[in-house]
Structure 1
């Protein structure tokens, strides 16, 4: 869509969100890896917005939290009045009289770019001065009903929260106001200043613009959204949980339809930014967050957490925690491993049971089978680090690196005190504390010589029972 006369999108986000009981502004609360308002801004972008303006509190709590190109204006009650009409008034300087204006709310994240585009299309096709986004619900509850005339035009939106506001027939209407509006820019500029505050709350409400436009002889229409959850907004954490369930289901469905197997979606958490290729398998109990990518044929889980992780084609991760680490094709992780930031398992490498690896490069085909800690190390290909191999990488002041060559075999309970280098094809003896470099092909042994004390058991028994 050309930016000339492209829609202006105004996002209302000045509410204080006190019902969230949080120091975090409501619209910045996380929803599947994206703040609430991030979903709304994405819808604006996907709908082809020419300008996107967010109405913030005077304290500008959203500064530094919004994408580049998004403008912030402040709603000041003393100059613009309270309520939603006052919030839109704060953004009027951005309105192009010749372009449509879409008003979204920052705490209603389930509106998509497709829905906004369809709203704009209905607005243009019907020649409306204003078009309301609506939805049909089986149980409309106390939501405002959309009343239409025989032509389909909206005659009014009836509130139902107070007994007597709506007639019995109006209460039977299942089409409700979703709180999203499209206006012709020139008509909004003309009508909005005429909205009064003659109500019990003393606030100026945006829906009152609709009545003003109809009084001027303009047509007001409605575009019915395809699914009812479009009306869901977030005022507290209980409502956030409901919205999260819907958003998560959408994410799951997108992956499933793209060829990913999610064995048990109900027990699987996947952030919006996670990339999963076809034929990958996600087992139950997994949590996939951040910028995690999972390639084809990889099997993740059960009960694995991956955050900003890269899992290569055909790799497997079982009962493990992978944070900022990468596993190349065919690598295996777990069970019960912890891969920390900066770790790379090269092709077909292995981090086995109860292994922790941090900031290390484990060479192709190399194995860290079990019960080991490898930190700040470079390990060559084809190496096997025996059980309980430990890199002592910190001297109390600085971290030091360990270098282990190709084809190395460390025996069980080997401690490598960094900085130290183990040459290609070298060995270490079981129970060794290696403090000096081991040349290629050599055997490094660093342990006390064994002494056997004959008769020790009898001597110990005598000391335990001297009167025996």
Structure 2
């Protein structure tokens, strides 16, 4: 059997799988352009848009929406979740969560539920607590995040020193401002606040504010001189 025959055979198996899912109450919008392996399960009431790839024993709950251009491999997606144009590998997304667009969850990440993972967010080997939010342009690696934590734009966990990887711990209710670097190993306490633009390399106790940035200096007329030179 050549490559063309193998692909035709696999294409036929995908179509048969999609037809089976339709009979089980799953709305597969385009059975010819949706790729779901036989060992994957999808709950009743879920909707799978075209150009979605689901493989390696992925389990999807009820009333889940998987929007176009998503890739799921060995993933568990619990009930009432929306996945928008995202990649989820070896990870779990808890109930009532929204992921994407353009998010990447990998390396045994666990989103606990009622979470918001926004556009261009990557998580690796991270536990993300109930009701926490990470809206955009952020990397969380090797992290343990509590409940109802909010991450601003551009937050990075600096988890690798070139030889070893270290964990970051963020307590319940913490607020992490935009463009914060968290240099692991570091622990951020419950209800702590990290000021935007800070590079944090020391633990921050419960309820405290961590701020680590230089003071601003304004130089009169230097802006005009630069633009007019």
| TM-score bracket for this pair, using the shorter chain length | over 0.9
Is 1:421 the counterpart of 2:187? The answer is yes
Query: Could you tell me which of 203, 208, 219 is aligned with 1:437?
Result: 203
Give the Cα separation in 2 of the matches to 1:342 and 1:246.
32
Whole-Å Cα distance in 2 between the matches of residues 454 and 239 of structure 1?
A: 72
SS at match of 1:291: coil
2:99 equivalent among 318, 321, 333: 333
Stretches (4+) displaced over 3 A: 458-462
Q: Counterparts in 2 of 1:182-201, with a 5 A limit?
A: none
Q: 2:42 aligns with which of 273, 276, 279?
A: 276
What is the DSSP-based 3-state SS (H/G/I as helix, E as strand, rest coil) of the residue aligned with 2:32?
A: helix
CA pair 447-261 structure 1, distance change in 2 beyond 3 A: same
Q: Select the residue among 160, 167, 176 that pairs with 1:401.
A: 167
Partners of 2:147 and 2:41 lie apart in 1 by: 29
Encode CA deviations 1:269-326: one digit per residue, 9 max, x unaligned.
Answer: 0011111111111111100010110001111122110000110000110000001111
The aligned residue for residue 456 of structure 1 is 222
Number of the residue aligned with 1:377: 143
Structure 2 residue corresponding to 1:411, chosen from 151, 174, 177 = 177
Q: Is the 8 A contact 2:19 2:31 kept in 1?
A: no
Task: Give the aligned partner of residue 247 of structure 1.
Answer: 13
Structure 1 counterpart of 2:33: 267
The corresponding residue for 2:63 is 297
8 Å contact 2:168–2:186 — kept in the other structure? yes
Asked if the contact 2:104–2:123 (Cα under 8 Å) also holds between the matched residues in 1, the reply is: yes
Aligned length: 229
- Asked whether the equivalents of residues 14 and 34 of structure 2 are also in contact (C-alpha less than 8 Å), the reply is no
CA distance in 2, matches of 1:371, 1:457: 30
| Pairwise CA distance, 1:240 | 1.7
Separation in 2 of the partners of 1:236 and 1:356? 38
Secondary structure of the structure 1 residue equivalent to 2:117: strand
2:129 aligned to which of 345, 359, 363: 363
Structure 1 vs Structure 2 CA RMSD: 1.2
Unpaired runs of 5+ residues, structure 2, are: none
Give the Cα–Cα distance (whole angstroms) in 2 for the partners of residues 455 and 307 of structure 1: 56
The structure with more strand, counted as a fraction of residues? 2
The 2-side partners of 1:408 and 1:362 are apart by 13
Partner of 1:388, secondary structure, is: coil
Q: How does 1:63-82 map to 2 (within 5 A)?
A: none
The SS at the match of 2:72 is strand
Q: Distance in 2 between matches of 1:369 and 1:305?
A: 20
**How much has 1:397 moved relative to structure 2?**
0.9
Give the 3 Å change call, closer, same or farther, for CA 346–459 of structure 1 in structure 2: same
Counterpart CA distance in 2 for 1:458 and 1:383 is: 42
- Name the counterpart of 1:21: none
SS at match of 1:241: helix
Q: TM-score, normalised by structure 1?
A: 0.48
CA distance in 2, matches of 1:320, 1:327: 12
Name which one, 1 or 2, has greater alpha-carbon Rg. 1
Distance 1:251 1:412 in 2: 44
Q: Name the structure with the higher helix share.
A: 1
User: What are the residue-to-residue correspondences of 1:13-412 with 2, within 5 Å?
Assistant: 235-412=1-178
